[in-house]
Structure 1
Amino acid sequence: MNKGDLINEVARLVSTKKQAQEIVDCVFSTVTDTLKKNEAVQIAGFGSFKTTKREARIGRNPQTGAEIKIEARMVPKFVPAKALKDAVK
């Protein structure tokens, strides 16, 4: 399922496809904005989104074999809830 498929599913529950797209975009932008502030998003029964710090490290260019420095950065992480894990079994 991609974003378009998700919008179509939401459109079946609301009045228009345009309104469904606004709802989906609002949810995604709210999660993104919250993660940018280094805050977690917890959705009961689904899971939680949070950010973790990835430390700086030395990588290797696969074509040349040269070492390169990879900067430290914050990355998003999703941890599924037990209910979601059980539903997927």
Structure 2
Amino acid sequence: MGRGGAALVSASASPCPNPRPGCPPSPQPSPKTPAKSGPCTARGRSARLTRNPPAPYAWPQPLEAATMSDKTLTRMDLSEAVFREVGLSRNESAELVESVLQHMSDALVRGEQVKISSFGTFSVRDKAARIGRNPKTGEEVPIQPRRVLTFRPSHLMKERVAEGNKS
């Protein structure tokens, strides 16, 4: 067995220009095809290899069993779910998801809360200016006032996530 999982089939014809142990023979060059130099550079070399079968494909885990590092829910996943569950076309599903996300982000930009029943509440907080400290040097640094996005999950969502940790 050689490197890369390939076993060579031995033959007793003419050796390569630079023979190695187990190297298959090179075919004699024809007048139409120029001779190639170097070990095992003849055409059809892969036909002389016996390869191990590839490892079976590992299918992804179902979404319920996936951990945080395994899967991220994307816009495309949401539109695919709408496509399967509602029956809209893929384009209409993508447009619907995009429209919902756009309405949510527009409301947050205006400073409104976005409350989704049994899921949670997105809101924007205005943070005042303050004096911070560089932890490496200890130097005081002014922090400018800013707006930050916060999410507060509903009690049902908290319970659902907690139960997911138990199983």
Provide TM-score, normalisation by structure 1.
0.81
Structural RMSD (CA): 2.0
Contact 1:55–1:73 (CA<8 Å) still a contact in 2? yes
Please list every run of 5 or more consecutive structure 1 residues that lacks an aligned counterpart in the other structure.
Answer: none
1:1-89 to 2 correspondence within 5 Å? 1-13=73-85, 14-57=87-130, 58=132, 60=134, 68-89=141-162
Higher helix share: 1
Give the deviation of 1:26 after TM superposition. Answer: 1.0
Please list every run of 5 or more consecutive structure 2 residues that lacks an aligned counterpart in the other structure.
Answer: 1-72, 163-167
The Cα offsets for residues 33-57 of structure 1, whole Å up to 9 and x where unpaired, read as: 1111111111111111111012223
Give the deviation of 1:70 after TM superposition. Answer: 3.0
Structure with greater contact order relative to length (CA < 8 Å, sep ≥ 6): 1
Moved over 4 A (4+): 65-68
- d(CA) in 2 for partners of 1:75 and 1:32? 13
Name the counterpart of 2:22: none
Contact 2:82–2:88 (CA<8 Å) still a contact in 1? no
Count residues with an aligned counterpart. Answer: 87
Distance 1:68 1:9, change over 3 A: same
* Larger CA deviation: 32-41 vs 69-78: 69-78
Provide TM-score, normalisation by structure 2.
0.46
Contact 2:114–2:122 (CA<8 Å) still a contact in 1? yes
Q: Quick one: which amino acid aligns to residue 74 of structure 2? A: N
Give the deviation of 1:81 after TM superposition. Answer: 0.5
- d(CA) in 2 for partners of 1:11 and 1:79? 29
Q: Percent identity?
A: 29
Higher strand share: 1
SS of residue paired to 1:15: coil
